[in-house]
Every structure is written in structure tokens, then in C-alpha cells.
Structure 1
């Protein structure tokens, strides 16, 4: 911050009796400047805005449709919203909802705020090119809340013989159901999850996604935890394999 030239004159004079007054005025001007600049960094005391996703997945393919919504109090008649991507303001977006068809440039952290809220916590969106994608709405899951997973195929091509894994170990299998959930998560469900399945005649696997369930600081009954863990333990159900499907899309064969 540049000091106004007028403040330098007393120090250059031979009479230094004005120095205490000079320092007092200097501090006052500094605090005034800081108070003036404070709103640019967020106003303390205001509730935070909240960014939500629709669909709720944090991982998407290129060309998937994504809508971000900024939730928070607004002044009557004022729907203006500030959006930020990786810390940089998006001047072309001023509405509560922000929609786009995903591309690699859309990966990163999104935050927002309104006239009556402070800056939201960041929501990280990953735009990934692959055959399969493991999707989840949250990477940090409070104890007792559900873990929701979806095995998403490129361009929604038909996926079958789907398996979900935790830390490399199979947890659940289905011939056609691409969604899997753990109703009441606990710390034992933390780990790296991925899925696999067949597109046409070829088996594909997704990248891993790390999900964390903090330990319940109030304590948890070990028997109950073991019961929940056993309830979701993987089983092949000992069913005969479904016949191999020969209905792979022509686009898939070409690729």
C-alpha cells in the first residue's frame, strides 16, 4: 500500500515533535484501508452459501450435462450470484444456477456467494475420459449416513456383470444393476472404491475413488459395526453366469 506523500513531510523536518501524531494517523489510515478491502475477501459473520450438483455426481464424463446451484439467502428482488472456478471469478455467470455440458476445462473447484452469504466451501468436479466411471455424491461421509455409488458407462452404453470393489476386494455383484449403496456407513467403509463391468464382450474397470468415513467419536458398538459390515460383504450369489450378450453398440466396436 503506497503511503501518501503528505505523511512523509513531518519525518523530513528537523522538528520531530510530530512523530507520535504521525504514527497514530498512519495506523488509523491502515485500519481504514483494511476495513474498506475486507468485503472483497468475504464478510465475516455471514452464513456460507452452499453449492449443490444436479445430477449429484462429483465425477462426470465429457459431454455429460451438469448444473451447479448456489443455495443461500438473498435480498428481496436480488438473485445475483458470484461464481468462482479454481479461485477465479466467472463474470459471465450471475444467476443462482450454472449449467454446462462438461469438458476437461470444467474440472476443478467451484464456489459461490450471494449478497446475504459468505463464500461457500468448494465442490470439486472431476471430468474424466474413460470407458467406466465410478460416481458418488460425497467423498467425506459422516458416520451413519449412506454411501451411494454408481457405475456409469461412456454414453450410457449397456453395462452388465457389474462388480463393485473396496480396496481391491469385491463387495457386490449384479448382472444388470449399476448402482450400489451402503445404508449406514462407519469407519470400516473408508477406502478406495472402483467398479468393473462388461461393455459388449470386453471387461472394463473404472479408476478408484477414495471415500472417507470418520470414526464416530462418540463410540460405536463393535457388534453393530460387524453386522453392518457382514450385511454388505460381497457374494457372487452362486448364480450361473448370464449368457454373454452380443448386442454391443457399433460405435463401441469401431472404437
Structure 2
């Protein structure tokens, strides 16, 4: 019976991984993302991966391959910078039609800021938009000010325009902003500082990705605006720039922190710059895991549900055959009439 179970599990694993043992790898290993986050999808195939392509079917019904208007192919992987319209089902498929497992990816609501900076002068304007997968109805732009006031756009601040909120800023508007649905779902949050002084630091309000070029600008409200500026990170001097701006050609995680600048006209507030790591490219050189031990219960159940009727019938017959064989080995045979006569002769 144990032999039959082993055969059964091997059959299910074979069905789940596909004819060539194909599996879709996702890094980072999660199914829910915010806009502009990156994901690396990789077709892991037992044997040759040539001929296998990463495909998707989005919530809008668009079915297409990586490299065609979305994603950047790199070997057997596809690197994607996500936006809400990328939400959908992803899988690997061979030229002859075999499929890997499928992964459902969702890109959640995202708060965008235009212009993309975290510091503003008094009376400057900013547009905050809730970018939501599908229908944005029911999503509201909210804020929590430094004075402890929590309120919605369109109440006593901001002008609602579709899914956006346009705000003419004053120092009392400094605080944290985010999008929220009627059911309590949240987007990312953005901190905005409105400065009443003469100098601000123009730095990204949204996260930047490692390897990107980032320019920090020390801005004076009056004229001229290109004063020599000194830049600081986490309270330590970085350098002085006569142009009033500092460029980091390829930002890294070590560049994350609190920045400020100063000039002859004054000093800016501090702002935090977030640096996110790009998704690693999944390697195909890793040894294949043991198929039975690495197979999760959900994938086994998925294999049963999507397997062919012939496979299900085969499994049922296999289990019945194993049980019949086990019962046959333990059953005591009944004596025939001739056996009973032989027993009497021996007794006499």
C-alpha cells in the first residue's frame, strides 16, 4: 500500500509541475504589491528552459507575453515594475502548450504626489492622487497633520477632482497623507512638510530604487535660486555644491536617511529619503528540490482540481487496487470439502 501512495504522490507532483516539471518562481515571494514596486518572475524548468515564456492575463482581459509592452526579459526571468493595470494571473507556458503553476498578483492602491517632493513653500500647490486598480470610487484622500487633526480632502482643505486632491498649502498642512477605501484598505503614506522659511530641500517624496540617479536641490524662495548650498545626511556634512544641487548618480541602500541643506539664506527642514532594493534575478542553476517533500498541500489540491478526468480515474483505480491487494493478503482461505475429508483421515 505504501508503494501505491508513493506512486500516487509522484503522479500528483508530475501533474502540478507540468510535463517538463515547470514552476513559476516569484521574488519577492508575495502576491500583493504597491505601484512602482518591482517583481522578478522566473520559469524554473527541469531540463531545458528554452521555449518557455512568461505570460499573463490581466484583470482587464489582456493576455500577452513578457517583453511585449510590459516586463523586461532577462534569461529565463522577467523583471516587472508594477502598476495597477498589471494585476492579474501569471504563468509559464511552453511552445507546445504545457503550463506551469499560476500566480495571482495584485497591485494595490497607490498615493502619487505631483510634483514628487516632500517639502514645499507656503502657498505652493500639490496634487495628490489615489491610483487604484479598477474602480477608484470609494477611495478618499486623508491626512493626519502635525497638530493631530485627521480629516478628508474636500472638508476644510483641498479640492477633490476625480481621484485627485489639489491642495494650496499652508504650514498647518504639514503631516502624513494616504488613500483609504470605505472598507479600511490603505495605500502607501507620504509625509509632506510646508516650510514658512526661505529655504527648502527638494527631495523625492516617493521611494527611489537602488541604481537610480537622484538629484537633491536646495531651493531659495527668492532670487537668485542657485546659491551655494551645503548638504547634510543624518546630521553629518556631505559636501558643498556651488550649483545649489547635489546628484547621486547611482543611489544605494546606504544613501537612505534624513537629508537637509543650508545656504547663506537659511536652512531647510529635514526629509527622509527611502531607497528600495531592486528585485533579485532568480538563478536557474540551483538544484531541483525533492518533488514530494517540496510540494505544498495547496498545489497538490490544485493539481487534483485541474487534472484530467483520465488522471483522476487512474488514481481512484490505483487506490482501490491497492486496498484490494492488502485485504487479499490478510484474508484466511476457507477450507474445501476435500480438505475437510483429509482432516478426518488424519485424525483416524
Cα contact 1:48–1:121 (8 A) shared by 2: no
Provide the aligned C-alpha RMSD in A.
Answer: 3.5
Distance 1:216 1:73 in 2: 23
1:132 Cα deviation after fit = 1.0
C-alpha spacing 1:115/1:74, structure 2 compared with 1 (3 Å): farther
3-state SS of 1:122 partner: strand
Matched, 1:96 2:163: yes
1:58 Cα deviation after fit = 0.8
Q: 1:120 aligns with which of 156, 176, 187?
A: 187
1:102 Cα deviation after fit = 0.4
TM, length-normalised to structure 1: 0.53
Paired residue total: 166
Q: What does 1:1-255 align with in structure 2 at a 5 Å threshold?
A: 47-75=107-135, 81-86=139-144, 87-90=150-153, 92=155, 93=160, 95-113=162-180, 118-138=185-205, 141-155=208-222, 158-166=225-233, 167-174=235-242, 177-199=243-265, 204-211=266-273, 213=275
Gap runs ≥5 in structure 2: 1-104, 145-149, 281-348
Cα contact 2:116–2:206 (8 A) shared by 1: no
C-alpha spacing 1:186/1:69, structure 2 compared with 1 (3 Å): same
Gap runs ≥5 in structure 1: 1-44, 219-255
3-state SS of 2:172 partner: helix
Distance 2:206 2:133 in 1: 26
Greater Rg, structure 1 or structure 2?
2
Report which of the two has the higher share of strand: 2
Cα contact 2:204–2:273 (8 A) shared by 1: no
1:118 Cα deviation after fit = 4.0
What per-residue deviation string (whole Å, max 9, x for no partner) do you get for residues 69-118 of structure 1?
1112343xx76642211253335436212112101221112122468994
Distance 2:254 2:260 in 1: 16
What per-residue deviation string (whole Å, max 9, x for no partner) do you get for residues 13-34 of structure 1?
xxxxxxxxxxxxxxxxxxxxxx
Cα contact 1:58–1:137 (8 A) shared by 2: yes
Cα contact 2:258–2:271 (8 A) shared by 1: yes
